[in-house]
Amino acid sequence: MVKQALVIVDVQNDFCPGGALAVAGGDEIIPLINQMSPGFEHVVLTQDWHPEHHSSFASSHPGKAPFETIQMPYGPQTLWPDHCIQGSFGAEFHKDLDRSRAELIVHKGFRPEIDSYSAFFENDRTTPTGLAGYLHERELNNVTLVGLATDFCVAYSALDAAGHGFDTTVRLDACRAIDLNGSLEAMIDAMRKAGVRLAGA
């Protein structure tokens, strides 16, 4: 049993084929994640959990389209299609994901005025989710991340994990990317520079 935490990021219906913000091949990673999970003593899930009319939705900004970028008080924000709305089918975890060993679910993006890619911070980079404290208190200093999407929620989570001093690994074979305007290459480079271990490529 590996003495570390597996953090499964946003394996939800809206990020899988047929969803509102589908990541190509998003459901393909589920069998591998299910295979990996028993090898970890601790498993954490993150779940995008937006209220209706969230500020990151293009529909909340008249004249704006999905994937445009606007300036928010906390900095640049990509606008997204409405997705992962609280209580909706799209926000549910994919039915094939084995959640039986998860000990914690971290909801993110539930504040209407701010988005949250990272499992550790909101996008203002100062409001914590509490995950770092949970891991530190349980002396879980090694974190492996999998899920959706490589270049957004997984990468931001990995960068923050490394910034908190965790020994951080991303299993790229258990992730899929959006790759918006070169975002995948940029975030892979950022993770490498931050000391994140990239495995399974």
List of residues 6+ apart from 174 with CB closer than 8 A: 29, 32, 33, 36, 146, 147, 200
DSSP at 182: T
List of residues 6+ apart from 94 with CB closer than 8 A: 11, 12, 13, 16, 27, 30
Q: Which residues are catalytic?
A: 10, 108, 153
Distance CA 130, CA 178 (A): 26
Q: Side chain identity at 114, as an amino acid letter?
A: I
Distance CA 123, CA 112 (A): 12
Distance CA 98, CA 84 (A): 19
List of residues 6+ apart from 139 with CB closer than 8 A: none
The DSSP bridge pattern shows strands 142-148 and 2-9 to be parallel
